[in-house]
Amino acid sequence: MTLKEWRHWLREQLKAGESPEIDADVLLCHVLTKPRSFILAWPEYELSEPELAALKMLTKRRQIGEPIAHLTGEREFWSLNLKVSPDTLIPRPDTEIIIEAALARLPDAPATLADLGTGTGAIALALKSERPQDSIYAVEFNANAAALARLNSERLNLAIDVRQGSWFEPLAGLKFDMLLSNPPYIDGADPHLQEGDVRFEPASALVAEEAGMADLRHLIRQAPEYLNDNGWLLLEHGWQQAALVRDYFTELGFQAVATLCDYGDNERITLAQWPGRQHV
């Protein structure tokens, strides 16, 4: 069978999914180690036996719902090709909004930033790619995920300081102009945890106590100790948590509290500025 025929076969095998055409092309490109232009330009190409074996194996894994990013070991975020693994969340397009919000609020001068719960390093590396002059720290509790963030840093030649530990613990004594985080914020009883890609992602990166609010509250409560005067805290959260996050920011004395919507028009990112204790 030719490449054109296998492409059709793949789409049929994956038609129960949300994007069989895209998934089929991604898997073909991965197996062939070729760009999509090759698939379009050489429809008569005949796959080798090793290529077919790999393609069939990946197809079976995709049919049971395993994320494409886990099958290929890669995911693009902010135009960066990141290595991913089952030890981390898969970077999602909506998280790019936190990058846009950060870039709009950072000064022209060099700044010091920290990405808390960095996973693949996506947020820290995206910001480093835009602001090479900044000192950027990335904190991750999971040792394997921290190692992956370091690997992505090295592969992309974007120098960030990856530190293993829980939230602020590895940052003792440091002060920052901006803190960012996409922490666990899903209620453990949420039925969506049994659907889609999240079934294959680490629960520790998804689920938080207190109906999903525990880590968000912890970050807001502890941030003033680590923020410079007029420094920013930016948090990703669930679409139903925005009001709670805003209220907690305000209660603790933060100013300029605002929420931004994701690409689906859901409230997704809430940010606030710490004026300094003398102004609270």
Write the pLDDT tens digit of every residue in 88-118.
888 888 899 999 999 999 999 999 999 999 9
Question: For residue 186, is pLDDT > 80?
Answer: no
pLDDT of residue 111: 97
Q: How far is CA 36 from the centre of its chain?
A: 24
Q: CATH top-level class for 3-64?
A: mainly alpha
* Pairing mode of beta strands 255-261, 176-181: unpaired
pLDDT of residue 90: 85
What is the DSSP secondary structure assignment for residue 66, as one 8-state letter? -
Top mean-pLDDT range of 5-14, 179-188, 206-215: 5-14
pLDDT of residue 137: 98
Question: For residue 72, is pLDDT > 80?
Answer: yes
Amino acid at 2: T
pLDDT of residue 202: 59
Query: What residues does each domain of the chain span?
Result: 3-64, 75-279
Quick: pLDDT tens for 18-27.
788 888 888 9
pLDDT of residue 9: 87
pLDDT of residue 86: 85
Q: List CB contacts of 92: < 8 A, sequence separation 6 or more.
A: none
**Annotation: CATH topology of 75-279:** Rossmann fold (3.40.50)
Name residue, tokens 């710490």. Answer: 274
* pTM of structure: 0.84
Task: Report angle CA 134, 137, 138 to the nearest 5 degrees.
Answer: 135
Split at pLDDT 50, 70, 90, the class of 184 is confident
Of 127, 94, 78, 105, nearest to 268 by C-alpha is 94
Name residue, tokens 């985080």. Answer: 181
Compute the Cα dihedral for 154, 157, 162, 167 and give only its sign.
Answer: negative
**Average confidence score pLDDT of the chain:** 88
